[in-house]
Amino acid sequence: MCKRNLLLALTLALMVLNGCAVSVVNWGIKMKSPVPAETTAYSDEDIDISFMVDDKSINFDLKNKTPNGIKLNYDEMSYISPGGVSLRVVSSNIRFSDRFAPQAPVVVPPGLSISETIIPAQNIFFRANDMAYYGWDVGPLFPNDAKTYLGREFGLYFPLEIKGVKKEFVFKFLITSTEKKK
């Protein structure tokens, strides 16, 4: 009985740990466009935005510097893979089962900020035949060995709407280093 409980507890712990995996690589990334920078931050008269990339998602902090609301339409955004493929993105706030359904736009009020995580919809999948984990999971942004991405670019098509006028950004990033976390 005790062995069975121990085995059950170990199995549950592995399921939780596998489902809540953290980044295993420190990605050295710098911005190539719209303005080259040694960081992943960009600023203009309307916005301040910074990005953080982990193994499965892209996080951003956006500050609205305008006197108007800024609309983010996730259905118009896309992730541009290192291979140059454009992929639909979803906000991490959606149910994974709805990853291909339309998403409601988000408005960032004047002077305020939003912190968000976006994931390529195609990277979200259901694990039904895995002994260690059963449920929704997210595949990696960069599926091969991390070192194969050194010197490669990826990006985000990131349109915003300010006072009814669309402002389109293509943020391109260069992978400058990779280091396995200890």
Structure tokens at 166: 């669309």
| Highest mean predicted confidence (pLDDT) among 1-15, 39-53, 125-139 | 39-53
Report the domain count for the chain. 1
Q: How confident is the model at residue 179 (pLDDT cuts 50, 70, 90)?
A: confident
Q: Is the pLDDT of residue 16 over 70?
A: no
What percent of the chain clears pLDDT 90, i.e. is strictly above it? 71
Q: Are 51 and 60 contacting, i.e. CB atoms less than 8 angstroms apart?
A: yes
119 or 20: which leads in pLDDT: 119
Counting beta carbons within 10 angstroms of the beta carbon of residue 62, is it exposed (0 to 12), middle (13 to 18) or buried (19 or more)? Answer: buried
Is the overall model pTM greater than 0.85, yes or no?
no
pLDDT for 143 beyond 90 = no
Query: Considering only CA atoms, which of 124, 178, 122 is closest in space to residue 152?
Result: 178
Give the confidence band of 48 by pLDDT, cuts at 50, 70, 90.
very high
Query: Can you give the residue range of the structural domain that contains 36?
Result: 2-180
pLDDT of residue 178: 87
More confident residue, 25 or 14: 25
- Identify the band that residue 25 occupies on the pLDDT scale cut at 50, 70 and 90: confident
Residue 108 token pair = 């960032």
Pairwise CA distance, residues 39 & 54, whole Å: 15
